[in-house]
Structure 1
Amino acid sequence: MTIGQHVPAPSQDVIVAALLHDAPEFAPAEPDVYQALTAAYGIEVARIIAVLQAEHRSLDEPDPPIHVDDQPVLLASTADKIVALTSLLRRAQSTGNASDFFDRRPVLRGLLPYFRAFQRAAHPRVPASMSAHLDAALTPLERATACAQGAGAR
């Protein structure tokens, strides 16, 4: 839905890949998930998902790279970030104590500069409304985590 809000007539491959991008994390070791994805949805869907999985794994590294040169991946990745960050903020707010929620998530706080850098790098390459949507998801998270860090320092 997020891609469709911002991209007129998005490719079916991008939509399918965005919907299934977490499948490799939950699939059994056999048969090979990428072979199954290719057989069911085509090589482009499997390729986009493989690149998204590599991006997810890179977030565990000290300085994750930002790639914005592959448009289908960029659209799916941006939508994934919008959905995930919006959901995270909603979960934090539902606890009644967003500062405490973020105090307990130092890894997330450490990734926020990466997400902001991604948003800035993607900005000229995705629809303006999509970049604005990612910005709108990031800004309150940055504020909430700044409050969390301030509260934790007291």
Structure 2
Amino acid sequence: MNVFAAPRHPHVARALTDARAWCAGQIIDDRPALVHAVRVAVTLARYLPDPPTALIAAALLHDAPEFAPPDIDLPGVLTRRYGTEVTRIVYALHDEHAALDQPDPPINTSDQPVLLISTADKIVVFRSLVHRAHASGDAAAFYAARPALLRLLPHFHAMHQAARPHVPIAMAAHLGDALAKLTRSTTGRC
């Protein structure tokens, strides 16, 4: 299913518009942040035959707490436009991202919508990192400049193992493949 095919569900169309506005000028993975948001939504839809509209909207908006203008009441705006579930998911993903700065980030597999988007997000990010490291011409220097990523690799492996029984089989396999390639790339074995 192409979640962006016409006619788009009004929530998806609005989420795309809001993501475009809030991501303007922001960069993720050396590309416009909107590209990242769309890739996460498309990756999610690849593994779910008929993804709920709220899930696609939340995927598109998952970085909004970082990029939306600080002078708006983002929780209020999200709730009015998309409902409480999208707001809850977006902020749960924001909390998960923030927790990666902790020495031992928690792994939560009990919140299915958050786990699905988080898994799609990691697939997109891991693939991008491997591509960018290879394109840099000096993968060792690329990863040496990212000590937080190297520190988090064991966490990502543990997260993959914990998530496997809770996400679609093909999605878990894709995450495992992307993580294996990233791990090999960081050690120069790819």
TM-score normalised to the size of structure 1? 0.92
Which amino acid in the other structure matches residue 6 of structure 1? Y
Name stretches of at least 5 consecutive residues in structure 2 with no aligned partner.
Answer: 1-41
CA RMSD of aligned residues (A): 1.2
Which amino acid in the other structure matches residue 143 of structure 2? F
Determine whether 1:76 maps to 2:117: yes
1:85 and 1:38 map into 2 onto residues whose CA distance is: 31
What is residue 152 of structure 1 aligned with on the other side? none
Deviation at 1:99, TM superposition (A): 1.7
For each residue in 1:31-78, what CA deviation from the matched residue of structure 2 results, as whole angstroms up to 9, or x when unmatched?
A: 211111111111110100000000000000000000000111111111
1:140 and 1:103 map into 2 onto residues whose CA distance is: 17
**Aligned match of 1:53 in 67, 71, 94?**
94
Deviation at 1:147, TM superposition (A): 3.0
What is residue 173 of structure 2 aligned with on the other side? 132
Deviation at 1:89, TM superposition (A): 1.1
Calculate percent identity across the aligned residue pairs: 52
Determine whether 1:89 maps to 2:122: no
Paired residue secondary structure (2:187): helix
1:88 and 1:146 map into 2 onto residues whose CA distance is: 13
Of 41-50 and 91-100, deviating more is: 91-100
Write out aligned runs for 1:2-151 (5 A). 2-147=43-188
For each residue in 1:2-45, what CA deviation from the matched residue of structure 2 results, as whole angstroms up to 9, or x when unmatched?
A: 01111111111111101110011011222211111111111110
1:90 and 1:110 map into 2 onto residues whose CA distance is: 20
2:187 and 2:139 map into 1 onto residues whose CA distance is: 11
Deviation at 1:144, TM superposition (A): 1.6
Which amino acid in the other structure matches residue 132 of structure 1? A
Aligned length, in residue pairs:
148
- Which protein has greater RCO, CA pairs closer than 8 Å, 6+ apart? 1
2:153 and 2:53 map into 1 onto residues whose CA distance is: 30
Deviation at 1:103, TM superposition (A): 1.6
Name stretches of at least 5 consecutive residues in structure 1 with no aligned partner.
Answer: 149-154
